[in-house]
Amino acid sequence: MGDSTVETSSFRLQDAPMTRDRTAGWAYVRGYGEVFEGDGAWYLTSADAVQYAQQHPELFSSARAFDSLGSPLPLIPIAMDPPDHVGYRRVLDPMLAPRVINAMEGELRRQLGVLIDAFVERGSCDVVADFARLYPTQVFLTLFGLPLEDRDQFIEWAEFIIEHAGVAATEPNEQVAAVSGQLFGYLQQCVEAKRRSPGPDMLSRILALRGESAWSNEEILGLCFLLTLAGLDTVTAEIGFLLFHLAKDVDLRRRVVGDPALVSPLIEEVVRLEPPAPIQPRVTTTDVDVAGIEIPSGQLVNLVVAAANRDPARFSSPNTIDLDASDRGHFGFGGGIHRCLGSHLARRELRLAVEEFHRRIPDYELAEHADPEVVWPSGTLHLKELPLVFTARPKP
């Protein structure tokens, strides 16, 4: 922990050279110090500083930190503080626990097979458009017991909201409000249908809560809205990053294809280096001292987990994938009480996606002249496209 002596008035998040090289991009952000003010917010970039904020929700509040998303309903549980937050997580954690996800695994593998088999005979694909963009929404619909036919309409709404709201938005947007209204209308219909005929799904389980634990309609829609914003494009992005690194690095790919036990270590390392939610906001509740620098009360503080995940003080060889060192606790799924609610589901989705892809397409590379770029700035860091080529196989 040292003094912040870097002149930070020149800092612009959008200037970080992120599009082709996140190592350079996050080094730019970290170069301004572990705690600094610039570009309209405070930034925490070291592992120690980020962890301190995550573990002190009484100092770093989430309640007003997500106002830029423009949700008319409470974003449960991400935009809540203790003690309310605790009660919601007690209800929600068991619904997304590993033992619940185990029961979904066969169905998720089946759906992955259908998606991938659709392009095996082409000998080429765009991972993002043909696969990564579709699968997480199917998983959400499956988890909530909703019809898979609604997938494309659902994706259209969610992508519009995510693209036009979030960190890049400076004021409420009428178009976003209109599309959000359509999504809420759809979700409201789903809630009513599940009230009439409940199933073994997560939405029915929430609707079945009774007495003091029962949720209001606003709470249920707020949760659905949040899962739509947080649970779909993040997994889409991460599938893209996983296959990007595998396609770029022949040795890495051969090692992982040859030993499927390495898929999970690979996921940990890629989530550490390419977290899809790289910056997580908080608002200070009082004057707070972090690493010797005082942040006043009421300030927007951005926890740069992507930079913390590359902190050389915490991680050796911080900028490279090391399958033999994947057991290093990272912040890719956040930390503290707001640890990603869907992290167990996300890890499983990613593992099954890589396994089923490799089962059908074990050898592949980037298409000629392809130089995949991420969208920047963007709330969810993701590749625009990922064109791959491979040996075509007959469709099973």
Partner 1 sequence: MKVTIAAERCTGHGRCYNIAPVLFSDDERGFGDITGAGDVAGEHEEVARAAVAGCPEHAVVLNS
> Which residues are near partner 1 by CB under 8 A?
55, 90, 93-94, 96-99, 264, 326-331, 333, 335-337, 339, 343-344
HSE-up of residue 66 (Cα within 13 Å, Cβ side) = 22
- Measured at the CA of 265, the angle between CA 328 and CA 377, to 5 degrees, comes to 75
CB of residue 185 to partner 1, shortest distance in Å: 32
Q: How far apart are CA 35 and CA 155, in angstroms?
A: 37
73 CB contacts (<8 Å, ≥6 apart)? 184, 218, 219, 221, 222, 225
- Of 116 and 202, which has the nearer Cβ to partner 1? 202
Q: How far apart are CA 249 and CA 45, in angstroms?
A: 28
- Of 133 and 338, which has the nearer Cβ to partner 1? 338
47 CB contacts (<8 Å, ≥6 apart)? 308, 309, 311, 313, 314, 315, 331
Q: How far apart are CA 160 and CA 322, in angstroms?
A: 36
CB of residue 57 to partner 1, shortest distance in Å: 11
- Of 330 and 358, which has the nearer Cβ to partner 1? 330
CB of residue 90 to partner 1, shortest distance in Å: 8
DSSP bridge pairs for 301 = 42, 282
- Of 248 and 339, which has the nearer Cβ to partner 1? 339
CB of residue 58 to partner 1, shortest distance in Å: 14
- Of 98 and 181, which has the nearer Cβ to partner 1? 98
CB of residue 138 to partner 1, shortest distance in Å: 22
Q: How far apart are CA 293 and CA 319, in angstroms?
A: 27
- Of 74 and 335, which has the nearer Cβ to partner 1? 335
Residue 118, SS3? coil
- Of 240 and 335, which has the nearer Cβ to partner 1? 335
**Tokens for 374?**
């991420």
CB of residue 171 to partner 1, shortest distance in Å: 34
CB of residue 272 to partner 1, shortest distance in Å: 10
